[in-house]
């Protein structure tokens, strides 16, 4: 296959842990050709196909340089066997516009994973609403009084912005309600922006588990991202420690219920965040943790992903 990765600049990849790099490495190992571009390289002109200035590359098996550029042609996305959207959040206006360009490329015959419409339809915080049976009590609102009432009911809560990533902007407010008003004003911008409030799940001390679902099927190991020191956030970007572990019975219940539903919508790769027994987020933009699980548990997540990609392109 000829595979295009739409991603962040290659020069900023941290290849010792980067999931997109692990996908590329496995694809090249199987003889597939690799190219890369960023969303900023996507172009459409009336009367023409969606195209991109792409970087055709070959991985070197070295750490520096880790790739060699073998060509920089302009190509139509429909001429690739698979286009993999791996641009990291934030899901901002430019990301939104990119999904429309990618969706138009699909109409021209491109095969895009994850499906661009599904990316738009599954905001990573709000996607849990469809699967509320698996979540901790949750509120989405702009209303500061509603936030205070939710806190009065549950006493210990987490507040977070709907567009955050990597643990950015997450606050815990305990029973004393200290700074609840100030935190709410910061997150909802005095009522202009919605925020999410969730009952605190004390099992966070055992980790915020990333449960990967590929082609509708769960990877048998999660990466538990365990908060360090006084930190309440387990996100690796916030200093959490990643520990691979087998899925629990509850992890499997959640993944097996959600996996086929999301896969049928064109979401080839999903990262479910589970704390204790509770689903907290559904990550669809660029789920990570392939290399950490592979290195610690020995399960070849990149191979499972490329297996699913090869199968999807044959359908």
Active-site residues, by number, are 125, 160, 210, 225, 233, 273, 281, 283
From the list 165, 184, 193, the residue with the least C-alpha distance to 273 is: 165
| 105 token code pair | 């490329």
| 304 token code pair | 């499972």
| 265 token code pair | 């919508």
| 306 token code pair | 């490329």
| 139 token code pair | 């509120």
Residues 6+ apart with CB under 8 A from 11: none
Q: Are 25 and 104 in contact (CB under 8 A)?
A: no
The Cβ of residue 73 has, within 10 Å, a number of other Cβ atoms equal to 11
């Amino acid at each position: 296959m000829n595979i295009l990765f739409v991603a962040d600049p290659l020069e900023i990849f941290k290849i010792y842990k980067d999931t997109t790099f692990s996908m590329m490495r496995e694809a090249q190992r199987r003889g597939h050709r690799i190219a890369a571009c960023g969303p900023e390289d996507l172009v459409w002109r009336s009367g023409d196909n969606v195209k991109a200035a792409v970087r055709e590359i070959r991985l070197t098996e070295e750490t520096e340089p880790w790739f060699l550029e073998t060509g920089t042609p302009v190509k139509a996305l429909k001429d690739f066997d698979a286009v993999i959207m791996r641009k990291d959040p934030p899901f901002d206006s430019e990301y939104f516009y990119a999904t429309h360009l990618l969706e138009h490329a699909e109409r021209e015959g491109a095969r895009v994973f994850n499906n661009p419409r599904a990316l738009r339809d599954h905001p990573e915080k709000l996607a849990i609403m469809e699967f509320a049976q698996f979540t901790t009590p949750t509120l989405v609102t702009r209303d500061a009084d509603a936030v205070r009432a939710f806190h009065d009911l549950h006493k210990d809560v987490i507040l977070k912005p709907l567009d955050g990533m990597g643990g950015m902007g997450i606050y815990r407010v305990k029973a004393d309600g200290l700074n609840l008003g100030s935190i709410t004003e910061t997150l909802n911008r005095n009522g202009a922006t919605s925020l999410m409030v969730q009952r605190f799940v004390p099992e966070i001390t055992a980790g915020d588990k990333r449960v990967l679902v590929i082609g509708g099927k769960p990877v048998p190991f999660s990466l538990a991202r365990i908060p360090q020191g006084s930190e309440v956030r387990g996100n690796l970007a916030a200093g959490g420690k990643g520990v691979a572990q087998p899925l629990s019975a509850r992890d499997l219940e959640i993944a097996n219920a959600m996996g086929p539903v999301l896969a049928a919508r064109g979401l080839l790769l999903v990262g479910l965040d589970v704390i204790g027994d509770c689903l907290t987020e559904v990550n669809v933009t660029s789920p990570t943790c392939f290399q950490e699980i592979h290195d610690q548990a020995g399960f070849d997540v990149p191979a499972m992903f490329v297996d699913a990609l090869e199968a999807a392109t044959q359908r």
